[in-house]
Structure 1
Amino acid sequence: MKRVNFAEFGGPDVLRLVDAEEPHAGPGQVRVAVRAAGVNPHDWRVREGQFQQVHPIELPTGIGLDAAGVVDEVGEGVEGVAAGDHVFGEGSDTYAEFAVLSAWARMPEGLTFEEAAGYPSVVETALRIISQVGVRPGQTLLASGASGGVGSAVLQLARERGITVIGTAGAANLDYLRGLGALATTYGEGWVERVRQLGRVDAALDLAGSGVIRELVELTGDPHKVVSIADLSAPDHGVRFSGVAGSMPDALVEAVDLISRGKLHIPVEKTYPLADASAAHIDSQAGHTRGRRVIVV
């Protein structure tokens, strides 16, 4: 089978499409014929070696966490799913023709493989950080860098919980944020004052890692009311960096429910063939995404 690999840490050019042995489903796992794989910032952070001190990996290795596809192998002890089922979820080395998933759910009716591949990690992340930042119904949450996949999920999940969200993004994405129910303003010079004009901030999320931790603490008045998923220097400011995933099965259950009820939709901004994984990483790292980027197999 074909799989995207890298044999050294570095830029997008280290990614290679190679021939690899097919993986097989172990106990509690399923294997899918991958139809689409979500592109996450986590992927290129791994490629750069940013997590080596915390979670070391051996090279060469595959890449990718999220996928949607057709089940073709069911591991020992797995019930409720069979070959031929269309599922989405999280596994390992998902930029490939076949991948093993450790958490999955049946795809909601009407969802394409490309759309489905964009949900798992961003919904889990959004649920986790909304909980960790301690924001409650009736309060206001600031999402810095809100137009990407996690931001899109945060805005909709918070809205369902009765939380007001202020989102910052580039000028071209403000109407998109407003369409998801957020108050919106641009980042850049003077953004703190623009946020203050929109309302009091009870808690804040740094989703883009654009060097705004100090200002988020200033706006909330408490570093414990700020969580970052993108700035590794956050702990230097007393701010929590959230990098350890919570329950993916629970996140998928909630995602299926919200998608099925029309309460959650994350658009796919762009798709890439498997051979162009490096281009997907270049675009992901450049930011300014509206929704998700997905590799199509």
Structure 2
Amino acid sequence: MTRTRRLSPPDGYHFHRTLRPLLAVRQDPCGTLSDGDFWLAARTPDGPGSLHLARAGAELTATGHGPGAAWLTDRAEAIAGLRDDLTDFPALAASHPLVARLARTFSGVRLPATGQLFHRLIRAILEQKVTGIEAHRAYRAMMRHFGEPAPGPAGLLLPPDPEAVAATPYWAFHPFGVEQRRTQALLRAALVADRLDRCADSAEATRRLTAIPGIGPWTAAEVVRTSYGDADAVSVGDFHIPNTVAWGLAGEARGTDERMLELLEPFRGHRGRVCELLALGGISAPKFGPRMPIRSFARF
């Protein structure tokens, strides 16, 4: 089954930067992204499917494949970030010269909203307290272990079935490079994945996520920012973001979570968007001390 829709993005829309957060860096078994071409495999309420977004000039073509084709194409505008509402953001951004400049420079970057919570939650849990290289290596291994072929011609794998994850003993995750603490969080989340997917909005999803042992505000924010397109979701507890915000907004080389939230308060409603803009602009605080080592839990 296939279904196609035509979408009209706004002037200046940035296809690649908008969709890049939906995929793991370097290589994602569940999706691909190149200039003007995006694929994403998903388990929808209607069944498995894959979505293809192709850009040609000023138009986007959204094509769904498989039993989930209708669900994915109906949601294609949100996945492409075209439902992201920036109406009140320029006025807020004008209060700080750097934010105002970044808002103009990256005005075509929108926040996607996939409606796919559990898939993004897997990646966020794997990213807890480890380097990005470790996390993405574990993510790719897990996707290949649990993955089933996705509908469509792109050769993608479907994200793991939560029931299959929940039924897997924790020691089976060790070869992926995932220790017991993160594995237990994954297993707890998989047990309630169906309820998480039925959350009405970002606030409810955040409450339910943070009620699960092993999932805190950082993980919840990482999830709802792309699952619900929550522009206000701030990753409290991040190793780098408080320093980035403190440096970018106040010229302070180091910042705490409390200082970060204080500096972001004038942008309430778009606090997470400001953090994303700082990252897009390459803003980073001066670095002191050694970097976090890259480890392999699979060898422990």
How high is the TM-score relative to the length of structure 1? 0.30
How high is the TM-score relative to the length of structure 2? 0.29
Would you tell me which structure has more helix in proportion to its own residues?
2
